[in-house]
Amino acid sequence: MKLPKLSDIISAQSILKDVVKNTPLEHSKSFSVMSGAQVYLKLENFQSTGSFKVRGAYNKIFNLSKREQKNGVVCASAGNHAQGVAYAAHRLQVKSKVFMPIFAPPLKVIATRNYGAEVVLKGDSFNDAYDEARNYIKSSGYVFVPPFNDPHIISGAGTIGLEIFNVFPEVHDVFVPVGGGGLIAGIAIALKSLNPKIRIIGVEAEGAQSMKLSLEKGTLHTLKSVHTIADGIAVKSPGPINFEAAQKYVDDIVTVNDAEIAQTAYTLLQRAKILAEPAGVAAMAAVLFKKCNIKGRNVVPVVSGGNANMSILEQILDKGVMEEGLRARIAVLIPDQAGMLKTVMSILELKRASIHDIYHERSTTSVPVGYVMVTITFNLQDTMQLPDILKEIDKYGFRYQILK
């Protein structure tokens, strides 16, 4: 397979014109102050299906022959690619079948079905679902739509680069999340063709840095395992054609850890009211945590998707509120007597703290006989409330521990 050219990406833009959204490029004063750069967010989380994936999927299916389209398409995915293929196939009136692992989030399974695809749940992992999909095409005649290693997929993703340049040709740096590499390959080809001085910086999760290691070694490198909350970029090895594009057009690859990803997701929601999934905020995390020198530069992080797993989102919000000092969790050891718990509750009520949840424990060996350990999570009005609450608890002589 050959790398697509700028003309291929322009052709894809024409194909996608009435199908996908030209997503916003929004300047953020808050993030500009926090990073020391002028930050403009490319919001692909507002895209149809909630991520950039539909761009490549539609371009791929559109460019199939009439015979191939008649046979139908198949893919394997645990999330965004599945929805992109299902949506694109429905728009083009092509049959689609999507193989997903049985652990796939129910909301993503439902969304994929609602876009018109037949969903088959197979295997405990993405690789199991992928193998099932590849086996299926051997006997069915369906055409496989890969998630990232394909010229049409790359060209479709590259239309994001054209949109950025059309609105903001003064851009200096574009930060792009990297999984298999299709997104950064397309954006890099587009922008480097239009202005070679624009820096293209890839961002990988620290627990899945296959592209970074491949570029350092000068050859494709496959990780033994990946571990990150950013499941959308948790890829063991980049696509060969995307690796070639990265060698040719990408200036640098940096990494962000899960704590930085989680904090960025929380900050985006809190400060900008933007809901994005962990993989979708990786580029923004690299900007906020200043993974390279961007002081005074015009910077565009690509927010690639907004299909957040609700259980992960709940943890991110809980952790974010606690780190901001607006929620606290304490374990208080009190006598197992009537009225003792009410005493603690009255302290929280007096200090205008609202209880989030409460848990009692008597049976563990760490709790002395005659006592009960009460773990209370409560919301605060401001960051100065907690010291006042602890002073009141001290007056009663209760032993306590602040939990993180």
Residues known to be catalytic: 53, 304
Nearest CA to 321 out of 402, 267, 261 is that of 267
The whole-angstrom separation of Cα 340 and Cα 326 is 25
CB 244 within 8 Å of CB 214: no
Q: What are phi and psi of 365, to 5 degrees?
A: -70, -20
Q: In what order do the strands lie in the sheet with 354-361?
A: 354-361, 371-379, 327-335, 399-403
CA distance 160 to 166: 10
Nearest CA-CA partner of 215 in 247, 245, 167? 247
Q: How far is CA 333 from CA 379, 380, 382, 388, 396, in A?
A: 20, 21, 25, 18, 11
Query: 387 — phi, psi (to 5°)?
Result: -55, -35
Q: Which two tokens stand for residue 228?
A: 């990150």
Per the DSSP assignment, residues forming a β-bridge with 97 are 74, 118
User: CA angle 62-46-154, nearest 5°?
Assistant: 40
Taking the C-alpha atoms of residue 280 and residue 177, their distance in angstroms, rounded to an integer, is 7
Q: What is the C-alpha R_g of the chain?
A: 25
Type of residue at 148: F
- Strands 371-379 and 327-335, how do they pair? antiparallel
SS3 annotation, 224-244: CCCCCCCHHHCCCCCCHHHHH
